[in-house]
Amino acid sequence: MAKKVYTDYFFDEPAYNTHDGGYIPLVTPKIDPQPLAIPPLLKPDRQTDTDDYYTVTAQESETQFLPGKKTKTWGYNAGFLGQTIVFRNGKQTHIDLENKLPELTTFHWHGLNVPGPITDGGCHAPVYPGETNHIDFKVHQPAATTWLHAHPCPSTATQVWKGLATMVIIQDDVEDQLPLPRNYGVDDIPLVLQDREFHDDNQFDYRADYDPDGVQGHTALVNGTVNPYFDVTTQRVRLRILDGSNRREWRLHFNDDLEFAQVASDGGILPAPVYMTKVMMTCAERDEIVVDFGQYQPGDEVTLMTDDTPLCRFRIKSFVPDDTKLPEHLVDIPDETPTPDLPVRTITMDGMDDEVALDGKKFDMSRIDARQKVGDVAIWEIRNTNSTENGMVHPFHVHGTQFRVLARNDGPVYPNEHGLKDTVGVNPGETVRIKVKFELTGVYMYHCHIIEHEDGGMMAQIESYDPQHPQTYHLMDMDTLRNAFAKEQGIKPEDVWMPGM
């Protein structure tokens, strides 16, 4: 049977961020191409057959993005972004979370199925300057590309903008057997897509750039590299792509419309490869694609683009011919039946700018907005109430679970949405139906992942509970958070700048 090749971006064109009043177009700086930075793998402190031990350090540094002065940045065990962390399904994992920053932060494991709220690392799990917190959890989910980022509401956007984000790769026995490239840094390449604005002396100035609908910059960064290239030394290359931006969508394609196969989304491998020439990613989504460069000769160059802007040039070198083909079927994903008699949970994503809300309410750290029993399989309907004429795509994210996307406006989902997801873009005026199951207890957030929107209150909390073992949680409150920031900054609590709140 002839394979279907998709040649559009799926999302509604009138809702692209290019139509935003505050849209900032990308401009490639006039500097020589730079080799793509490949984040090193974080080395465990110790490993056994059953347990892994890591130290993850949030730290200050300086990074050379552009000619001239270095930029003051933050990162995880690195100057900017971080070292890539690798977990193995089934292993007990022990992590020291070390804060060497001048202010409190949190360590949110975006996409990981871990207990909430402390291990999950949202706003209720602060690590104060000079302190180290410890977490333990068992990795219990399929192979996937996930990530770690700061989440200290409502300063998540500021800290991510400074650099606190890094890729986290989960491996398992099933993915090991698939004919996928997996030589990290050679044919298995992370691509963290972000944008930044550089001010005087090449410095970030988040406050100057602030936009309640999402901060953007003129300069694209790929793994923190400006104007990067990658030398292709194997015919087949796997790209693990993360939209790590505060706001920007990425409409990806190659300059010559080279076909590629998407093999995984947020929560892991897709049931079957999806062949396409274009794909759009909203904030926090991950797509893994396999690109076959077999039609090129040494000396050729093909460029990954977003809209009309080059992102990364792939320079073709000599490689051994590789006739490996992807199978028509990759993995089986259990399709669990919804728990009988559960009402459908309806959620609205409302407003834009300073008026964003979830279910008509602003986020309150001390308020539990919903409850769902552990093990229940529930249907959620997520509606974007923005106008179809001038509204935005809102990426909806749930902590502590991977869900299935069931329908868009009672119709089919996009072809690359048949796998596990933790983030889904919802078009203006659209209702997306998802199937949600929590396997662990805790308090988890769900929110828009335009980070300024979540900081601005487009967020709520759900408790996943076990009626046989009720729990009480100590939740962070705004006064405690504001007082901590005030103490760290040496100012009065009323003078703390918390954009969006």
CATH of domain 345-469: 2.60.40.420
> How confident is the model at residue 1, as a pLDDT?
58
Which is the CATH superfamily of the domain at 188-316?
Cupredoxins -  blue copper proteins (2.60.40.420)
Asked whether this chain's domains 188-316 and 345-469 adopt the same fold, the reply is: yes
Please state the separation of Cα 88 from the chain's center in Å: 19
Q: Establish how many alpha carbons lie within 13 A of residue 3's alpha carbon, considering only the half-sphere containing its beta carbon.
A: 17
pLDDT confidence of residue 499: 80
Distant-in-sequence, close-in-space partners of 308: CB < 8 Å, separation ≥ 6? none
Q: Find out whether 462 and 446 touch, Cβ atoms under 8 Å.
A: yes
Look at residues 77, 73, 80 and name the one whose alpha carbon lies nearest to residue 45: 77
Least Cα distance to 113 among 135, 141, 90 occurs for: 141
| Cβ–Cβ under 8 Å, residues 393 and 426 | yes
What is the Cα gyration radius of the chain?
22
Over 123-173, what HEC string results? CCCCECCCCEEEEEEECCCCCEEEEEECCCCCCHHHHHHHCCEEEEEEECH
What are the tokens at 268? 């892991």
Architecture of the domain made up of 10-175? Sandwich (2.60)
The answer to whether the predicted template modeling score (pTM) of the entire model surpasses 0.85 is yes
3-state class of 299 per DSSP?
coil
User: Distance (Å, rounded) from C-alpha 76 to C-alpha 294?
Assistant: 36
How wide is the angle at C-alpha 387 spanned by C-alphas 381 and 392, nearest 5°?
A: 75
CA of 134: how far to CAs of 123, 126, 137, 147, in Å?
16, 12, 10, 18
Do 436 and 378 form a contact (C-beta atoms < 8 A)? yes
Confidence at residue 327, expressed as pLDDT on a 0 to 100 scale:
97
What is the per-residue pLDDT for 309?
Answer: 97
Question: In this structure, how many other beta carbons lie within 10 angstroms of the beta carbon of residue 360?
Answer: 9
Whether 400 and 444 have beta carbons less than 8 Å apart is answered as yes
Q: Residue 261 — left, alpha, or beta (φ > 0 → left; ψ -120 to 50 → alpha)? A: beta
Nearest CA to 377 out of 344, 321, 336 is that of: 336
Residue 348, strand partner residues: 383
Taking the chain (501 residues) in runs of 10, the rounded mean pLDDT of each run is 90 96 94 97 98 98 97 98 98 98 98 97 97 98 98 95 98 98 98 98 97 97 98 98 98 98 98 98 98 98 98 98 97 95 97 95 96 98 96 98 98 98 98 98 98 97 96 91 92 88 68
Domain spans of the chain?
10-175, 188-316, 345-469
| Three-state SS letters, 349-399 | EECCHHHCEECCECCCCCCCCEEEECCCEEEEEEEECCCCCCCCCEEEEEC
Alpha-carbon distances of 404 from 104, 341, 380, rounded to whole Å: 34, 19, 10
Residues 261 and 211: beta-carbon distance below 8 Å: no
